[in-house]
Structure formats: C-alpha cells, structure tokens
C-alpha cells in the first residue's frame, strides 16, 4: 500500500502547473451545453475521466466517484420535477444552476483527492459512519435497556402487592379501573404534597371508590 506521501507525490507528479484533471473539468464545464440533461451526462463522463487521470480507479476512493456520478444522475429527476411545477425555472437558469453545481462538486473532489491520502479519506468516511451508527445504536440500546429495567421493576412491585391472594388482587384491580393513577400523580405538587417526620412524602388526591358515571348522551336538536 502506498504511503500518503507516495500517493500525494505520484498524484502531484502528474500536475505540471495546474491539476490536469481540474483543467479538463474546467474546459468541459465551460463548454457545457445549454441543455441541463446534456450537462449532467457530460459531468458524469468527466468524473470517469477524472478517476482515470488521477489513477483512482480500483482505489478505495472509487466508490466516492461513483456516488458523485449517481448523485448527478439523480439531478435529472430534480429537473423533471422543477419543470412540472407551477413556476418552472427558465431553461438558461437551469443550465447555469447545473453547471455551477457540477463544477463545485468536481473541483471540491479533485482538490480533496490531491490534498489527502486515500487512506485518510477512507478512514474519515468510515469513522463518520461508525460514529453515526454507534450513536444511533447506542441510544436505541440504552433506551431499550432502561425500558426493560423499568418494566421488570414494576412487575416485581405488582407481584408483591398481589401476594396476599385474591382479595388483594381484587382491591388493586378496582382501584386501577376506577382511578387514573397517572393523572392523579401528576396533581401531586405544591401544597398537595407534605412529608412526615421521617421525610416520607405523601399527597392528598381523591381515591375514587365507585365507577365513573357513563358519559351523558348528547342533547338532541332543539325544536
């Protein structure tokens, strides 16, 4: 495997004054046709030419060039959508937008390819992907683990509360059915909360002993 210095020297050895890849890109960009789709096709061809001249075909950065080409191909669909909108872009504006975007993408890639080694580029891309996947996966696993722990704790408390037999189970079932426990606990704040001498807190909320009345039937239309 070539070292970063060897790769940079080999790439720079093919650059007598200005980068020939960038020169060819600039030349073809300046001669881009007015048809945006033709400009896209020419840009994708220039990317393949740039890969050949920079000797990056077969290099780990090859997929990056292919991704650029695929993204440029998708621009055709964007242009179709723009043309079908109520206020489509003028043909000359579309051509200029395409030319500027293509020029920026290709120039940026050639500049980075000459300044960085292929190893650094691949590792930086892989590192970003690993960090992103790690953050997403770690957050997901942490959330699932916390949720599972809370469920296990609640299950243990309920099992202990029902250990007295059917009478205890019936009392808990009635209390849960007749009362919105989550809503009641949300009201436990401010003056509704007090503490005993040991610091144990309590809350004064109504504990309903009867079923909630059925909702009233909607009144009929007045005559």
Residue range 52-75, pLDDT digits in tens = 665 555 555 555 555 666 666 666
- State the pLDDT confidence band at 198, using cuts at 50, 70 and 90: very high
Question: In angstroms, what CA-CA distances link 48 with 21, 33, 55, 117, 175?
Answer: 11, 19, 11, 19, 72
Q: Which of 4-13, 21-30, 35-44 has the highest mean pLDDT?
A: 35-44
Question: What is residue 7's predicted lDDT score, i.e. its pLDDT?
Answer: 40
Which residues, including other chains, have CB under 8 Å from residue 100's CB and lie 6 or more apart? none
Report yes or no: 161 and 172 within 8 Å, Cβ to Cβ. yes
Question: What is residue 33's predicted lDDT score, i.e. its pLDDT?
Answer: 44
Q: Is the pTM of this model over 0.75?
A: no
Q: Is the pLDDT of residue 112 over 60?
A: no
Phi first, then psi: give them for residue 202, nearest 5 degrees. Answer: -140, 165
Report yes or no: 51 and 65 within 8 Å, Cβ to Cβ. yes
Q: Is the pLDDT of residue 201 over 80?
A: yes
Stronger pLDDT, 155 or 107, i.e. the higher one:
155
């Amino acid at each position: 495997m070539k070292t970063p210095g060897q790769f940079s020297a080999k790439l720079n050895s093919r650059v007598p004054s200005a980068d020939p890849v960038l020169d060819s890109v600039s030349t073809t960009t300046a001669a881009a046709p007015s048809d945006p789709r033709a400009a896209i096709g020419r840009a994708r061809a220039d990317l393949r030419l740039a890969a050949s001249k920079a000797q990056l075909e077969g290099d780990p950065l090859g997929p990056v060039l292919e991704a650029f080409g695929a993204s440029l191909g998708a621009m055709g669909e964007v242009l179709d959508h723009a043309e079908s909108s109520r206020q489509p872009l003028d043909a000359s504006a579309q051509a200029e937008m395409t030319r500027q975007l293509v020029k920026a993408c290709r120039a940026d890639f050639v500049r980075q390819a000459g300044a960085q080694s292929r190893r650094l580029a691949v590792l930086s891309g892989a590192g970003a992907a690993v960090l992103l996947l790690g953050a997403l996966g770690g957050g997901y696993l942490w959330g699932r683990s916390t949720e599972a722990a809370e469920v296990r704790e609640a299950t243990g408390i309920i099992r202990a509360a029902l250990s007295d037999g059917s009478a205890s189970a019936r009392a808990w079932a009635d209390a849960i059915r007749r009362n919105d426990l989550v809503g009641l606990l949300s009201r436990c704040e401010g003056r509704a909360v007090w503490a005993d001498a040991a610091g144990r807190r309590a809350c004064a909320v109504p504990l309903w002993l009867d079923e909630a009345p059925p909702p009233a039937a909607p009144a009929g239309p007045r005559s």
